[in-house]
Amino acid sequence: MIYILNIETATKNCSVSLSKNGQTFAIKEVSEEQFSHAEKLHLFIKEVLATENISLENLNAVAVSKGPGSYTGLRIGVSAAKGLCYALNIPLIAVDTLAVLAEKVSINSGIIIPMIDARRMEVFTQMFDKDYAPLSVAEALIVDETAFADITEYIHLIGDGALKCKIVLTDNKFIYHEDVVYPSANEMSRISYKKYVENTFEDVAYFEPYYLKDFMLTTKK
């Protein structure tokens, strides 16, 4: 059996799952307006392991959502994952956050476009086909009425970034999945197991999150 601990903290959702051979069988998550990742993450790790009476020493790998997303959230998740991998001497697996979000919907045709809110009308986004194969690279996009104008297929929009686009993306080709807001460690299980089988691992010492944009420090007005 291959046990992988999956950590997703790239958005407001603090999510941890334990998978066995690519199937999630324990998960703990919460999404709050105020980020609570620093307080909740290690507690969630302990709880999902206790659910199936699995110890840290039983883990074969740790997977972490690498971004793009919240600077603070990514730092917390990656730091925890690297610490566990180093202490247990097990592989670190990095999973694209937008790919995780895309897998929260199942479609028969069209394009899936996950969007993570990047403030104002900017989103982190990427295009995937119905089988979750990437059709573009991740980008920071300022959304206006011309976005995706060259696409004639139905476009399935998901994520907290998609919700704010309803005021500008009004064509009938846009289908909004309003119940899909944040990526979850549940959908990480299949991806991380595939990477484990393929031996697609990261260098624990040098791995860094994929921020996509430079971190900018601001002060309250």
User: How far, in Å, CA of 179 to CA of 141, rounded?
Assistant: 22
Domain ranges of the chain: 3-97+183-197, 105-176
Report whether 95 contacts 115 (CB < 8 A).
Answer: no
Phi, psi of 87 (to 5 degrees): -70, -35
Q: Whole-prediction pTM value?
A: 0.93
Report whether 7 contacts 81 (CB < 8 A).
Answer: yes
Of 162, 167, 169, which is closest to residue 122 (Cα–Cα)?
A: 162
User: How far, in Å, CA of 180 to CA of 158, rounded?
Assistant: 6
- Helix, strand or coil, per DSSP, at residue 187: coil
CATH class label, 105-176: alpha beta
Domains 3-97+183-197 and 105-176 share a fold: yes
Buried b (16+ CB within 10 A) or exposed e, 108-119: eeebbbbbbbbe
* pLDDT at site 214: 57
Q: Reduced to 3 DSSP states, what percent helix, strand and coil does the chain have, rounded to the nearest 5?
A: 25, 25, 45
* pLDDT at site 34: 76
* pLDDT at site 10: 96
* pLDDT at site 119: 86
First to last CA, the chain: 53
* pLDDT at site 48: 97
- HEC states along 96-165? CHHHHHHCCCCCCCCEEEEEEECCCCEEEECCECCCCCECCCCEEEECCCCCCCCCCCCEEEECHHHHHH
User: From 3.40.91.10, 3.40.50.80, 3.30.420.40, 3.30.9.30, which CATH number describes the 3-97+183-197 domain?
Assistant: 3.30.420.40
* pLDDT at site 212: 85
* Other CB atoms within 10 Å distance of the CB of residue 209: 24
User: How far, in Å, CA of 211 to CA of 66, rounded?
Assistant: 8
Q: What is the full per-residue pLDDT of the chain (221 aa) written as tens digits?
A: 999 999 999 999 999 999 999 999 999 999 987 778 999 999 999 999 999 899 999 999 999 999 999 999 999 999 999 999 999 999 999 999 999 999 999 999 999 999 999 988 999 999 999 999 999 999 999 999 999 999 999 999 999 999 999 999 999 999 999 999 999 999 999 999 999 999 999 999 999 999 987 544 444 44
Distances (CA, A) of 109 to 78, 128, 197: 34, 11, 29
